[in-house]
Amino acid sequence: MSAPNPPSPVHAAPPRIVVLGSLNMDIVLRVPHAPAAGETLLGRSIDHIPGGKGANQAVSCAREGGQVAMIGCVGDDANGRALCAALEADGIDTAALRTTTAAPTGTALILVEDGGQNRIVMVPGANAAVDLDAAALRAQLQGAAFLVTQFETPMDQVERAISAAHAAGCKVLLNPSPMQPIAAPLWPRIDTLVVNELEARALCGQAADSPQEAALAGRALRAEGIARVVVTLGARGAVAIDDDGARHHPAPQVQAVDTTAAGDTFLGALAVALGEGASFDEAVRLGIRAAALCIQQPGAQPSIPRRDAVLRSPLPPDWIPLP
């Protein structure tokens, strides 16, 4: 049985979103397939493209219409300057971005196979030097709709930011990627958790390879004290789990060129829609439409769509309640 799906969130005042996270220069190699151990392979192309989960999520929030401030750290080098300029071009407040001379800007090596699948190795560099200023953080979180964060910056800083957001009454949207365990006291401070199949299984021990399994995993994660969980399932869409149960949101079927930043795009669209007052299901649906557009373009930040393009994109199939 499918539920009647409302069309799209209503535009409201732009929600203020604070993003704590990484900024990386992505070195993207297009390859026919991922090389095996000991194999030498001819690549098709090499590009340097602005990325980093934190920066990508900030860009997604901004292109969805959010008023965004980014907290992070870059090296004192050309990559760092290019990444800051990229955020500013999207109207993102970079006043809380630090520059360090102690490490180069973060870098990610991304292999993109024909068919769009990627493999990523990230070297944190300056991202490891994030050092929050408690007073400035408190001021930024005051009145913000969401703190959005991930695990590409040091865990102690992420934990401090989550606790500060909780104390300021600002909701926390966490994407625990790359996967690390979440400290017990943090669970009830997280409003919305977005995980993929692998992260869901690592966090709760429950496989999440099908929508039904993802619903079980989401329920197990909610039992830790989280209000809303989304388990993303790639081309099969996502499962949303909250007080009202679990729903499978199928994705529109599209030809993937490069899946890099699909999850970040989803997350930004979700955060802004929730901040605008959309229902959880409307927000997930918007995120799925945004991610479907993202994967049809190469690269991280250049592939993140704007809200108007998302609203013009094909509607996905209706969501399906799960037992």
CB of 31 to ligand RIB, least distance (A): 16
Measured from the CB atom, is 157 or 242 closer to ligand RIB? 157
Find the helix or strand (DSSP H, E) in which 196 lies.
Answer: strand 192-196
65 in contact with ligand RIB (CB under 6 A): no
Of the residues 244, 264, 281, 308, only one is catalytic, namely 264
The residues with which 67 forms a beta bridge, in sequence order, are 16
260 in contact with ligand RIB (CB under 6 A): yes
Alpha-carbon distance values, 153 to 166, 177, 195, 260 (Å)? 19, 10, 17, 19
111 in contact with ligand RIB (CB under 6 A): no
Span interacting with ligand RIB, options 18-26, 94-102, 160-168, 310-318, rule CB under 6 A: 18-26
Span interacting with ligand RIB, options 50-58, 97-105, 182-190, 279-287, rule CB under 6 A: 50-58
Q: Assign residue 85 a region (left: φ > 0; alpha: ψ between -120 and 50; beta: otherwise).
A: alpha
How far, in Å, CA of 271 to CA of 287, rounded? Answer: 9
Q: Assign residue 234 a region (left: φ > 0; alpha: ψ between -120 and 50; beta: otherwise).
A: left
Measured from the CB atom, is 251 or 294 closer to ligand RIB? 294
Among 51, 80, 211, 305, binds ligand RIB (CB under 6 A): 51
Collapsing DSSP states into helix, strand and coil, what is residue 180? coil
A 10 A CB-CB count for 230 gives: 29
Span interacting with ligand RIB, options 5-13, 32-40, 48-56, 287-295, rule CB under 6 A: 48-56
| 243 has catalytic annotation | no
Span interacting with ligand RIB, options 46-54, 68-76, 182-190, 219-227, rule CB under 6 A: 46-54
Among 261, 269, 292, 293, binds ligand RIB (CB under 6 A): 261
Alpha-carbon distance values, 6 to 274, 292, 312, 315 (Å)? 15, 19, 15, 11
Measured from the CB atom, is 22 or 149 closer to ligand RIB? 22
CB of 150 to ligand RIB, least distance (A): 8
97 in contact with ligand RIB (CB under 6 A): no
Picking from 137, 195, 196, the residue whose alpha carbon sits closest to that of residue 19 is: 137
- In one-letter notation, the amino acid at residue 250 is P
Measured from the CB atom, is 233 or 246 closer to ligand RIB? 233
300 in contact with ligand RIB (CB under 6 A): yes
- Would strands 97-100 and 67-75 be described as parallel, antiparallel, or unpaired? parallel
CB of 123 to ligand RIB, least distance (A): 10
Collapsing DSSP states into helix, strand and coil, what is residue 66? coil
Phi, psi of 283 (to 5 degrees): -65, -40
Cβ contacts of 204-207, under 8 Å, gap ≥ 24:
none
56 in contact with ligand RIB (CB under 6 A): yes
Span interacting with ligand RIB, options 19-27, 38-46, 62-70, 77-85, rule CB under 6 A: 19-27
Measured from the CB atom, is 51 or 287 closer to ligand RIB? 51
Residue whose pair of structure tokens reads 């679990």 in the numeric block: 246
52 in contact with ligand RIB (CB under 6 A): yes
How far, in Å, CA of 175 to CA of 172, rounded? Answer: 10
Residues 6 or more apart whose Cβ sits within 8 Å of residue 117: 256, 259
124 in contact with ligand RIB (CB under 6 A): no
Residues labelled catalytic: 264
- List of residues contacting ligand RIB (CB under 6 A): 22, 24, 26, 51-53, 56, 108, 120, 122, 152, 260-261, 263-264, 300
